[in-house]
Structure 1
């Protein structure tokens, strides 16, 4: 029993914390920043003003996380984010392939709580910041749940709050709204009619029962559904992220008017549900009910801070590669009308680049303060460029970059801007790739630290045998094949059939830009006359001047069938000139105005388990998976497969890295295949498999004759093994015991 006598006043308790890095904001960007810095040895405090992690991806908002893969609806092949962001997606797939948002919360909380260098403060809002000159020294937060004030001193700070709370309180320079077109010569810069900010959205989930369910709308529900010009798009089957376009608030202050925006969105949601349930237009909704409605909106845009480089439209569309490129994006430039659901404009204006673009380190810190990193959706970018870089997997990738940058700055006693020096930035770029963070059109120098590599076998591509299944050529399709500089594509033999004589055009195409998968350069063309089932030969007159992927493209002819194989291969796929309605309106990007963007065809894969490969025989084998790929420092398919794959009959494949003289090893990082083309959306959609087929699920790692590790339930593409004590070794051997069902693939062993 405790009895507290009356006093004149009381105070809440205070805690004083001291740390190397304070990360403000626990969305995917903040979590990845905190984990990266903690794994690199910093003491980190992560302050999150919500009860869960994940921000817009959490169970409080329930938006699926996505990034450069863009729902597999653009031409960015094998572009899923790597590093910690990739680890999160893969772990969620393994634990939660059904897409339960509460389980995604659990994945994130588990990762944060498992790191001994990371202190997590949930339900804690920052309200005060102390600066000395151009440095932040302290930040104060309050937790209304445990009624505790926190005073946190740190050497470095990272703002990942989305709204830029930390940077705002510290006085850093920022912008709100859209730039004028002439500031950066951005033709996509919106005018007043379209509006200068993106709004908020609230999602809802539905479920169907076995009996009718009544719905009585609240008094504040929207009464006239025709106030929503796009109301005819509503169906009883749409819910959750499908209704991203139930958006509003871009004309208001998206920070200080957030409560007003939330109430308007609730009005819209309940009005939409009243229309679906009670208008009589959707009889199949009789047994349906709303299972969940968001209590807080998903916010898209507010403050954008200013660094030493402001990402702009041309950086994205022209795919500019910066000297300090440390991350990448690939979502379309995706701008929404400020009036949202009430606008007569389309719900979004989306234009894709022809491939991924890189993001410079100079956009990831404040030019106002020496020790403030920026990540997530408040990085230094114009409103137009923000329309692409704002998506969550891109934000998570940027989070890891600043976390590892903070660790390097701590180790080298640098301020954040000093690391941008051309003589220094390479250290960060190499470190990111060593830990599994892929950067387009860059590679890791000497990943195995001078080792030579031998393997137990090598898969040589002679043929993909027919399985007995066929597909009609009812849409344009293309086989993506890798080829080395100086090579000619061998004669290809496809098995085709037709009930009557048919003509089939087959063309060879490539991408103008190295590393892209947009076939914008025609190389050669052939025409076949197809009748009864049999092999038909195609030979192109082309010698490749560089390592690249070629498109062997078949024109559509629904009267012709093609034989299929049931042997999937890493780094080789079939794509279709088709449409993903989530991210495009046509099978070709069409500019309906002078927006400064390219027009090109979309070539998209099918999602597992619906992906197909044609049966094909090569007159000369293709060496796609040579052991030397393990040393080229490229961490995934780009310009070539860049992987080693063992022979089919190799029952215990091994790779051995050997040095002429003993080497000291502190850490080993394996980079394996886990289908980098799979978007792995976190919630709602669900996925067919918990682990993708080429992933190595059971392996052993040996140092000379000592077993370093045996991993029996792997589901990750990046497997880091940090040694408790440095070892002096002359040989590292990988034994592959089991995969998730298909041939294994290894990209690299990074030795530190």
Structure 2
């Protein structure tokens, strides 16, 4: 029993003092990925979150799916899902939660954090003050948790603001801006007319509904929107959608999106409950008697508020022109996605999305405060223009950049640096290499081979894929839409392709050989050759003979133009680094088959060629002469962990049930770690919630494998792997002349494959 006498001087809350290496304010996807990356790199992290769950807009409190450069597979960014920790989280979620339950996603995020011994997570903790040692140096911060009545005082040499609104940057005095720059500021021709379109993106609140199994009455609260016609797009409301499919229930772009958030929230509640009242009681919808509200968000999902000045500001030109930056540490690929400030009450389209022809690089300088020397930024508050923010703000892109912050912070602690010091050429290379080894994938920058023991090894494979044929064993695809097979072709080679057609009536079929003008892109904007074939009815073979046309190794598109009188044979066989794509549409991301931007907007016009999600999206069956030899064992040392200009993968022969890769050295090596980089289909977007996925594990990924020594003795074994990166850490370094990687084929129609193997030297 506790009894306390009256205290005339009052009482103080409990005060807990921490001293750590890195403080991260905000545990949305950016804060989480930064924290895990830093912790794994060996430094102590305190991660503060002002909510009871982590994940920010991805959490069960808001329920927006995590998405980035893949854009629902609705753009031309092939194999572009973000790597590293954000990939690990999404793959984990797919395995445990392919249906997209947001409650389960909460637990996956919390579990990832709790597994890291170097992270201290403080939930329900608001940062309310800070102290500086100098005008441009933060010394400590102060937080308060109302649930346990505890104040926290946390001192650290480095801080990261991943809070969404930039609470740390704001209190530190760092310069920032809110709203849209005019066109003259950065020469951005897509900058909005703020007098009409407005300057800010608004907030959204979502709802979930369910069938209760029996009639449910609904009486709207007094604050619910009464007149549904105030929403110009009310005709888009339907009973088949819920959650973030209602992203366009948006409001607040005309207000202060920080200080007016509570007012904005009430208006969004009014809209949501008014929409539900319309669904239930208007009489305009069938079969709604049994429907009931299961959940309505209690906090808004925010899109935009402060953006802080860094050492570089990302602009429209960086995105559309895909500009190269020496300090690239991540990439983006979501469309430039701007919304009218009036949101749901606007008569305009709910969003204006325009894509670039490929992914764009994100420089490290955008994540460093221009004013506060020991402050990083992460998430939607990084240094961008309003236009560029329309792309960089999405969660997977934000988290991807934040991983670089976590790795840079660890490098700063170990080398006694400030964030800007890493911009020195050699230190920047150290950062980029550490990120790539962790699976980041930075465009144009491979993993350094010089420290990989595999680089000095003789490599022998039990087999490798020589692609002479994509077997003719699949269904027929009617050319209602144009289709193309993407193949990694070599320059200076004349190829012949033979396909099988089922022609329904006399017709002419147009075939084109296409490629991307910018090598490394997957927008087939150049036509090397074109043919027109007169066809008679019946099943038949068609040969297409091409002349050499490529200047470098890259993907080409064997393209069959839309013709409803023709069917083309597909294959049941799938291979790492091969895709079929279609000139269809995905209205959700403003893909109507072709992008036609406004005149003088500085944005390119081009066609969209996108894959279909499994179980659809089969390769086009064909014979290929000469055979494509882009899958040999040398690929596992080239430093790339996904397809780029070629497959970048070793692929075994399809019939090889237990393929092996053998690595031999002329002298004994001391090995401490083996990292394997598998194919988890970086083209699949893996939306974290609501969307649902056809499988819980990616079929290309190796599940079971063994490592053997030169005596064929087992030195490591992994059963039921589903992750992209698998690390084998030996408790004591092993002395080896040879390592054999033995894999087990798990899918009849998919051969085993491996992108990279990185073998680290130990100290003998």
How do 1:47-66 and structure 2 match up within 5 A?
A: 47-66=48-67
The aligned residue for residue 143 of structure 2 is 141
For structure 1, which segment, 438-447 or 545-554, has the greater mean C-alpha deviation from structure 2 after superposition?
438-447
Contact kept? 1:236, 1:284, Cα under 8 Å? no
Alignment of 1:482 with 2:488, yes or no, is yes
- Look up the SS of the partner of 1:619 in the other structure: strand
Q: Within 2, Cα distance between the matches of 1:722 and 1:382? A: 43
Contact kept? 1:524, 1:542, Cα under 8 Å? no
Aligned partner of 2:400 among 382, 385, 397: 397
Aligned partner of 2:471 among 454, 465, 468: 465
- Look up the SS of the partner of 1:98 in the other structure: coil
The aligned residue for residue 726 of structure 2 is 719
Q: Within 2, Cα distance between the matches of 1:721 and 1:374? A: 33
Q: Within 2, Cα distance between the matches of 1:408 and 1:731? A: 33
For structure 1, which segment, 46-55 or 721-730, has the greater mean C-alpha deviation from structure 2 after superposition?
721-730
For residues 270-322 of structure 1, the C-alpha deviation after alignment (integer angstroms, 9 at most, x for no partner) is 11111111111112222211110000000011111111100000000000110
The aligned residue for residue 700 of structure 1 is 706
Contact kept? 2:74, 2:591, Cα under 8 Å? no
For residues 241-296 of structure 1, the C-alpha deviation after alignment (integer angstroms, 9 at most, x for no partner) is 11101001111111111100100000010111111111111122222111100000
The aligned residue for residue 340 of structure 1 is 343
The aligned residue for residue 232 of structure 2 is 229
- Look up the SS of the partner of 1:299 in the other structure: coil
How do 1:434-445 and structure 2 match up within 5 A?
A: 434-445=437-448
Q: Within 2, Cα distance between the matches of 1:740 and 1:325? A: 37
The aligned residue for residue 511 of structure 1 is 516
Contact kept? 2:659, 2:743, Cα under 8 Å? yes
TM-score (norm 1): 0.98
- Look up the SS of the partner of 1:283 in the other structure: coil
- Look up the SS of the partner of 1:467 in the other structure: coil
Q: Within 2, Cα distance between the matches of 1:725 and 1:44? A: 28
Deviation for aligned residue 1:704: 5.1
How do 1:82-93 and structure 2 match up within 5 A?
A: 82-93=83-94
The aligned residue for residue 687 of structure 2 is 681
The aligned residue for residue 585 of structure 2 is 579
Aligned partner of 2:756 among 712, 727, 748: 748
Contact kept? 2:482, 2:583, Cα under 8 Å? yes
Contact kept? 1:696, 1:740, Cα under 8 Å? no
Q: Within 1, Cα distance between the matches of 2:357 and 2:25? A: 34
- Look up the SS of the partner of 1:38 in the other structure: helix
Deviation for aligned residue 1:480: 0.3
The aligned residue for residue 272 of structure 1 is 275
Contact kept? 2:661, 2:740, Cα under 8 Å? yes
Q: Within 2, Cα distance between the matches of 1:28 and 1:733? A: 38
- Look up the SS of the partner of 1:566 in the other structure: coil
Would the alpha carbon gap of residues 740 and 48 (structure 1) be closer, same or farther in structure 2, given more than 3 Å must change?
Answer: farther
Deviation for aligned residue 1:5: 2.7
Deviation for aligned residue 1:169: 1.3
The aligned residue for residue 406 of structure 1 is 409
How do 1:361-400 and structure 2 match up within 5 A?
A: 361-400=364-403
Would the alpha carbon gap of residues 7 and 155 (structure 1) be closer, same or farther in structure 2, given more than 3 Å must change?
Answer: same
Q: Within 2, Cα distance between the matches of 1:638 and 1:529? A: 36
Q: Within 1, Cα distance between the matches of 2:381 and 2:672? A: 36
For residues 504-544 of structure 1, the C-alpha deviation after alignment (integer angstroms, 9 at most, x for no partner) is 11100100111100011110012223332122111111242
The aligned residue for residue 17 of structure 2 is 16
What residue ranges of structure 1 are gaps of 5+ in the alignment?
A: none
For structure 1, which segment, 84-93 or 663-672, has the greater mean C-alpha deviation from structure 2 after superposition?
663-672
Alignment of 1:96 with 2:97, yes or no, is yes
- Look up the SS of the partner of 2:570 in the other structure: strand
Contact kept? 1:246, 1:341, Cα under 8 Å? yes
- Look up the SS of the partner of 1:166 in the other structure: helix
For residues 517-575 of structure 1, the C-alpha deviation after alignment (integer angstroms, 9 at most, x for no partner) is 00111100122233321221111112422010001110111111111211111111110
Q: Within 1, Cα distance between the matches of 2:165 and 2:708? A: 48
Deviation for aligned residue 1:618: 1.7
Aligned partner of 2:153 among 151, 154, 159: 151
Where in structure 1 do 4 or more consecutive aligned residues deviate above 6 Å? none
What residue ranges of structure 2 are gaps of 5+ in the alignment?
A: none
The aligned residue for residue 28 of structure 1 is 29
For residues 650-699 of structure 1, the C-alpha deviation after alignment (integer angstroms, 9 at most, x for no partner) is 22111123333344444332111011100000000100000111110111
How do 1:197-212 and structure 2 match up within 5 A?
A: 197-212=200-215
Aligned partner of 1:536 among 537, 542, 557: 542
- Look up the SS of the partner of 1:424 in the other structure: helix
Q: Within 2, Cα distance between the matches of 1:725 and 1:379? A: 42
Deviation for aligned residue 1:738: 4.1
Q: Within 2, Cα distance between the matches of 1:45 and 1:103? A: 24
Would the alpha carbon gap of residues 152 and 726 (structure 1) be closer, same or farther in structure 2, given more than 3 Å must change?
Answer: farther
Would the alpha carbon gap of residues 579 and 747 (structure 1) be closer, same or farther in structure 2, given more than 3 Å must change?
Answer: same
The aligned residue for residue 737 of structure 1 is 744
Equivalent residues, number: 751
Report the RMSD for the aligned CA atoms in angstroms.
1.5
For residues 431-477 of structure 1, the C-alpha deviation after alignment (integer angstroms, 9 at most, x for no partner) is 11111111122212217343332211111111122225212111111
Q: Within 1, Cα distance between the matches of 2:715 and 2:169? A: 45
Contact kept? 1:673, 1:744, Cα under 8 Å? no
Contact kept? 1:64, 1:683, Cα under 8 Å? yes
Would the alpha carbon gap of residues 669 and 200 (structure 1) be closer, same or farther in structure 2, given more than 3 Å must change?
Answer: same
Would the alpha carbon gap of residues 274 and 433 (structure 1) be closer, same or farther in structure 2, given more than 3 Å must change?
Answer: same
Q: Within 1, Cα distance between the matches of 2:431 and 2:672? A: 18
For structure 1, which segment, 293-302 or 722-731, has the greater mean C-alpha deviation from structure 2 after superposition?
722-731
Deviation for aligned residue 1:604: 0.9
Q: Within 1, Cα distance between the matches of 2:56 and 2:598? A: 34
